[in-house]
Amino acid sequence: MARPERERRHHQTTEELRTRFAEDGVRSLRERVAETRWRRRLAARRTVDTTYRVGVGVVGGLIVAVGLATIPLPGPGWLTVIAGLFVLASEFFWAERLLEFTKKHVTRWTNWLGRQPVWVRLAVALATAAFVYGVLVVTLHVMGVPWWVPGWVPLWR
């Protein structure tokens, strides 16, 4: 695809997103960052701008990768993925769209779960706890129990 065509498509999708944000009275994260004085100074020098964007991509990608790796483990796996998307969305349109998609679906899931009877919410909580426990047991079985875990802790050794 020719570069001008790709830029035109990118511009159209950016305009669509801007229109949607403008209707809501909100500017996108990428726009807010781009309007700051320090970011405009970086953008004025092409090499510095490219280096900065590569750095944001690497850092955001690493945060997302760590988050994806820790999703099945106890802890803030999804929160880490979303934090990485925030970093990436400060510079990249595709990450901004993915973050919007994620926010929409998390909100839908939360609203749906909130409308369910207590027994459904408990079943989801128990299924989640069972999954996390299963991942923990498999991880300990494959990697072994760390030396610093006391012997009285009831784990599969």
Same domain as 133, residue 68: no
Neighbours of 60 (CB within 10 A): 21
pTM for this structure?
0.65
Q: Which residues contact 66 (CB under 8 A, 6 or more apart)?
A: 80, 84
Alpha carbons 130 and 8: distance in angstroms, whole number = 49
**98 closest CA partner among 111, 109, 89, 107:** 89
CB-based burial of residue 53 (10 Å sphere; 0-12 exposed, 13-18 middle, 19+ buried)?
Answer: middle
Same domain as 137, residue 66: no
Query: Per-residue pLDDT tens for 50-85?
Result: 888 999 999 999 999 999 988 877 778 889 999 999
Same domain as 145, residue 103: no
Same domain as 81, residue 100: yes
Low-confidence ranges of the chain (pLDDT < 70): 1-25, 153-157
Q: Which residues contact 21 (CB under 8 A, 6 or more apart)?
A: 27, 28, 31
Q: How far is CA 22 from CA 31, 91, 110, 113, in A?
A: 12, 19, 26, 30
pLDDT for res 14? 58
Long-range contacts: 136-145, Cβ < 8 Å, 24+? Answer: 136/73, 136/74, 139/73
pLDDT for res 73? 73
Tell me how many domains the chain contains. Answer: 2
Same domain as 103, residue 93: yes
Q: Which domain, by its residues, includes 72?
A: 3-115
